[in-house]
Structure 1
Amino acid sequence: MPGGNGVAPQLSDGAGTDQTPDGGWRRVHPASPFVRGWVALAAMGFFFGRDTFERLLQGAPLVDERLAGRAPWLLLGGGAVLLLTVLGYILSWYFTRYQVAQGYVRVNTGFLFKQQRQARLDRVQAIDVVQPLLARIFGLAELRFEVADAGESAVRLAYLRMEEARQLRATILARAAGVAPDPERPGAAAAEAPEQAVLTVPPSRLAGSLVLSEQSVGVVLGAVASVVLSAVTENRGFYLYLIPAALGLVAAYWSMFSKGYNFTAAVSPDGIRLRYGLLDTRAQTLPPGRIQALRVSQPPLWRIFGWYRMQVNVAGYGAAGNSGEGSARTTLLPVGTVADVLSMLSLVLPDPGTPDPVRVFTAGLTGLADRTRAARRDADAGFITTPRRARLLAPLGWRRNGFTATDTALLIRSGRWWRHLVVVPHQRTQSIALEQGPLARRFRVVDLVLHTTAGPVSPRLVQAGLDEGRALFEAQSVRARAARKLQRSEHWLAQARPAPKQQEGPQHG
């Protein structure tokens, strides 16, 4: 397969020395700097050509008579700026090289101020293949490598041919998984691991979820308030506040629809594969072992169709996963049914640690404790909720807020109207804290907080009984220590497992 410089990619085995020329260093595609910097070229064209274009449309002379004497100098100056810009792009491409060898992926950039970035293959948390619209036109793609707690992409390769990017990703995933190369062909690229489709989100469902989202509720309430205030005060100016709100809502809807369009999930030996995007497309590979916490949410209006959203904390994404582009990267399922949620849960948590996972997780999604303490745990799949004595602190949510623990994970549910279920594998619990304010002491309840890597999920058990909270604190500490001792290697792959059927929940063992 030809690469960006017309040479098939050759990679070292991670232990020896690369036998390719120049130590295995290769350059990205020659069009890369132009794909990255097209905005600057467009801005220059607009600045220098705007007046000329307007005169051409008006039928006037192309050059103003007052500037006719200086036209050659203006053209010379513009040409020099353009030449320097193109030369800078060429030098940027020439001095940008990458290498995968001795267990590292390295990227060198810069011709005046040089920089080398590298990431250990066994510490790579996730690899994304990103295609902005212009890169898609040229058949190029960017590889982004996430490493532990980097907060942003530690290493970026922009741009490679799409096929080369996919093959390089497959090779790096194989090296990160500890798969030894063929001794007879130590420099050969690894084959891409097979995958099995799990689910696809229809565009109609995605559009419907946006219409029934929290933002829509806010805009409707704002519109009603504007109408009422305009009628009461006879001031039509309140309607003007709806214009920026409507424009912002349309922009937000388009952004979310474009990012979530054609969302598909598949399972492969090297992790969970997610693909999505309308104009800019992205292909993510998430190893389940790198997912630190998971949250399933359901806004009130989504109950009409039984829809849910799933988000995750991934080691390496850091706080960047809380907003903007990062929110799409930490979305495991933008909108799906209960069957979709259980299918994705089975990928993240192959061993749910309970003989009846569908009942337990369904209770976490939709369960509500009995009003009396009698038979509460049996009727609610083992969830322990806020004691009745504290119902004044959460009159609507005290029967909903609760927790249960399986052999492999802690489940925390909350919210009567906005439902949430947080799942934290025991081995991913980094630390635990008990918090109690003045009112909580009066009603003998306590909050328990679990600390994981940064991200959109903040595991917190609210208003647990004091005795139950203390018992959970001790038990979860023991579970976390035991689970970390039994944790497998940091390598992504151990052995391939088949994807579960969509209608089934997580399977035991």
Structure 2
Amino acid sequence: MTELPAASFRTDGPEDWHRVHPISPLVRGWVAVAAVLVLFGRNSLDSVFYSNSNSSGAPAGVILAVVGVAVVVFSLAFYLSWRFTRYQVTDSQVHINSGIVFRQQRRARIDRVQAIDVVQPLLARFFGLAELKFEVADGGKSAIKLSFLKLEEAKRLRAAILARAAGVHVDPAAPQDVTEAPERHVLALAPGRIIGSVLLSGLSAVSVAVVAVAVALGVWSGEFAVFLGFVPILIGLAASYWKGVTRDFNFRVAVSPDGVRLHYGMLETRSQTIPPGRVQAVGISQGPFWRPFGWYRVHVNVAGYGADRADNGNRTVLLPAGTLQEVMAVLALVFPEPGVPNPVDVFTAGLRGPGNTEGFVHSPRSARWIDPLAWRYNAFRATDTALLCRHGILFRRLQVVPHERTQSLSLRQGPLMAALGLVDFELHSTAGPIQPLVHHMALDAGRRLFDEQAVRAATARRIHAVEHWLAQPQAQPQEGPHAR
């Protein structure tokens, strides 16, 4: 990877404020404008072209006057919204002031930035605009949005914020504009892979079940009208297929000094940047329909994203459908030090199981009474840098948590598990799709793992205390042993 250029960055002073693009309110509120125009415009045209003495609708002049007033009101509201929205980026914080009647002031510390996205909805792409959205480390409750800026300005601002979060210092005597850090291509997913992964997802199982029920009811009742009742459900399923394809279309992974960059989307495009060291946990999963093709899905926990419900969980996806080799390539970007000399063998054993190959410790034989099928798949292994948790047989999951990202630990045991000498080990990460868990461990193994993991986590946190990843020399992530 190319290092950031040795240049300082322009800093806003106390009196330096900027405004978003003038047409930003229109890009945000075009749906309301379109609804008014469609509602009243259609009535107006009907009155003009189809008016007669028996018409009971409002006169065309009244409708046109209402439309005119609506246009004026919307224009004034859009102007005031733009006029009262300002932002400022200093060395330490981002300030956003907005609101007309109810004023809102938002501030976020740059050193707490977890990830930054540049989002372009379809209409914004038409005007060459983009929304800048970045998260801070509080579970996804303080997402800061700047809507909308010129695409070049959004990228420049993202680069400046990431550089300051990385610990690059500003020279007040010679400020310069920052340029976006270069990126190196890692991998891209073909459209056929994206379409196939959606068609072979759990959504297809639901679709087949709905069609089967519709056919069975239609045959049983002998009435074609029965099928009409399933039309809304089928339309919803079709929309889910369309969303799944367009959401991950043109998925690309790259790496830069800023961190891991993800590019994806068909209609709404998103350029997502996750700075180094911000990933709290990695989860790799595989469903039964993907197993013949060897595809896996990779999720991550990032502190600022939280549960990621606002974007259907897509922002926590590091790889929507990748082969084992591609999984290893993206793991090397967010987890460059696996802590074992043979990472490919270890992670392959963790993904495919079963048994205790490559050092994985699985559940004891007594676990067969409560987990007869998956007891040999439930296992764990601790490396020098992370804890690997494996569980599931139909839906296989491997969860990786760096030791320094361990939040807390717990052991759980119910009456039946106590009688069998079993315990569940749970490792708490930040809020997200990954909840690391080892099912049905032997009681002694669980207690030993609890004590050892607490020591490993405390030691790793002392070693990795620095959050400014460019403030000191750091080994650049390479595809290294993962890609072998």
Same fold (TM over 0.5): yes
Among 337, 344, 354, the residue aligned to 2:323: 337
* Counterparts in 2 of 1:390 and 1:243: CA distance versus 1, 3 Å: same
Equivalent residue letter for 2:321: V
1:327 paired to 2:319: no
Quote the offset at 1:80 in angstroms: 2.5
1:383 paired to 2:350: no
Q: Give the match's secondary structure for 1:365.
A: helix
Contact map agreement 1:127 1:284 (CA 8 A) in 2? yes
1:29 paired to 2:28: no
Equivalent residue letter for 1:272: V
User: 1:72 and 1:226 mapped to 2: Cα distance?
Assistant: 50
Quote the offset at 1:218 in angstroms: 2.8
| Equivalence for 1:4 | none
| Equivalence for 2:451 | 474
| Equivalence for 2:334 | 348
| Equivalence for 1:159 | 148
Equivalent residue letter for 2:401: V
- CA deviation profile, 1:257-280 (whole Å, cap 9, x unmatched): 111000001111111000100000
Among 201, 204, 207, the residue aligned to 2:195: 207
Q: Give the match's secondary structure for 1:343.
A: helix
- CA deviation profile, 1:247-298 (whole Å, cap 9, x unmatched): 2221111111111000001111111000100000111101231111111010
User: 1:306 and 1:199 mapped to 2: Cα distance?
Assistant: 17
| Equivalence for 1:373 | none
* Counterparts in 2 of 1:77 and 1:270: CA distance versus 1, 3 Å: same
| Equivalence for 2:177 | 189
User: 2:103 and 2:189 mapped to 1: Cα distance?
Assistant: 44
* Counterparts in 2 of 1:226 and 1:81: CA distance versus 1, 3 Å: closer
Contact map agreement 1:141 1:161 (CA 8 A) in 2? yes
* Counterparts in 2 of 1:394 and 1:237: CA distance versus 1, 3 Å: farther
Equivalent residue letter for 1:117: R
User: 2:359 and 2:312 mapped to 1: Cα distance?
Assistant: 35
Q: Give the match's secondary structure for 1:85.
A: helix
Q: Which consecutive unaligned segments of at least 5 residues does structure 1 have?
A: 1-9, 370-376
1:216 paired to 2:204: yes
Equivalent residue letter for 2:122: L
Q: Give the match's secondary structure for 1:505.
A: helix
| Equivalence for 2:72 | 83
| Equivalence for 1:430 | 407
- CA deviation profile, 1:63-110 (whole Å, cap 9, x unmatched): 997678x65555444323321221111011011111111411111112
Equivalent residue letter for 1:384: V
* Counterparts in 2 of 1:326 and 1:182: CA distance versus 1, 3 Å: farther
- CA deviation profile, 1:21-63 (whole Å, cap 9, x unmatched): x82201110010111111111111112211223356xx43499
Deviates more, 1:339-348 or 1:173-182: 173-182
Contact map agreement 1:29 1:159 (CA 8 A) in 2? yes
Q: How does 1:317-466 map to 2 (within 5 A)?
A: 317-319=305-307, 321=308, 323=309, 325-369=311-355, 377=356, 380-466=357-443
Q: Give the match's secondary structure for 2:178.
A: coil
User: 2:119 and 2:105 mapped to 1: Cα distance?
Assistant: 22
Contact map agreement 1:435 1:447 (CA 8 A) in 2? yes
Q: How does 1:133-282 map to 2 (within 5 A)?
A: 133-182=122-171, 184-186=173-175, 188-224=176-212, 227=215, 242-282=230-270
1:48 paired to 2:25: no
* Counterparts in 2 of 1:66 and 1:349: CA distance versus 1, 3 Å: closer
Contact map agreement 2:333 2:479 (CA 8 A) in 1? no
Among 473, 489, 493, the residue aligned to 2:466: 489
Contact map agreement 1:11 1:24 (CA 8 A) in 2? no
User: 1:483 and 1:238 mapped to 2: Cα distance?
Assistant: 62
Deviates more, 1:143-152 or 1:297-306: 143-152
Q: Give the match's secondary structure for 1:400.
A: coil
* Counterparts in 2 of 1:74 and 1:384: CA distance versus 1, 3 Å: same
After TM superposition, the score normalised by the length of structure 1 is: 0.87
How many residue pairs get aligned? The number is 476
Quote the offset at 1:495 in angstroms: 4.9
Contact map agreement 1:288 1:348 (CA 8 A) in 2? yes
* Counterparts in 2 of 1:27 and 1:269: CA distance versus 1, 3 Å: same
Deviates more, 1:141-150 or 1:241-250: 241-250
1:92 paired to 2:81: yes
* Counterparts in 2 of 1:194 and 1:497: CA distance versus 1, 3 Å: farther
1:288 paired to 2:266: no
Contact map agreement 1:11 1:100 (CA 8 A) in 2? no
User: 1:484 and 1:467 mapped to 2: Cα distance?
Assistant: 26
Equivalent residue letter for 2:398: L
- CA deviation profile, 1:366-390 (whole Å, cap 9, x unmatched): 1211xxxxxxx4xx00000010122
Deviates more, 1:488-497 or 1:248-257: 488-497
Equivalent residue letter for 2:381: T
User: 1:90 and 1:403 mapped to 2: Cα distance?
Assistant: 58
Among 464, 478, 481, the residue aligned to 1:500: 478
Equivalent residue letter for 1:28: V
1:60 paired to 2:37: no
Q: How does 1:105-144 map to 2 (within 5 A)?
A: 105-144=94-133
Equivalent residue letter for 2:382: A
Quote the offset at 1:458 in angstroms: 1.1
Give me the CA root mean square deviation. Answer: 2.5
* Counterparts in 2 of 1:405 and 1:163: CA distance versus 1, 3 Å: same
Q: Percent identity?
A: 50
Equivalent residue letter for 1:43: A
User: 1:353 and 1:62 mapped to 2: Cα distance?
Assistant: 83
User: 2:37 and 2:333 mapped to 1: Cα distance?
Assistant: 50
Equivalent residue letter for 1:362: T
- CA deviation profile, 1:156-211 (whole Å, cap 9, x unmatched): 1110000111011111111111112345522x222211111111111100111111
Equivalent residue letter for 1:477: A
Contact map agreement 1:405 1:411 (CA 8 A) in 2? yes
Contact map agreement 1:63 1:71 (CA 8 A) in 2? no
Contact map agreement 1:117 1:154 (CA 8 A) in 2? no
User: 1:262 and 1:317 mapped to 2: Cα distance?
Assistant: 22
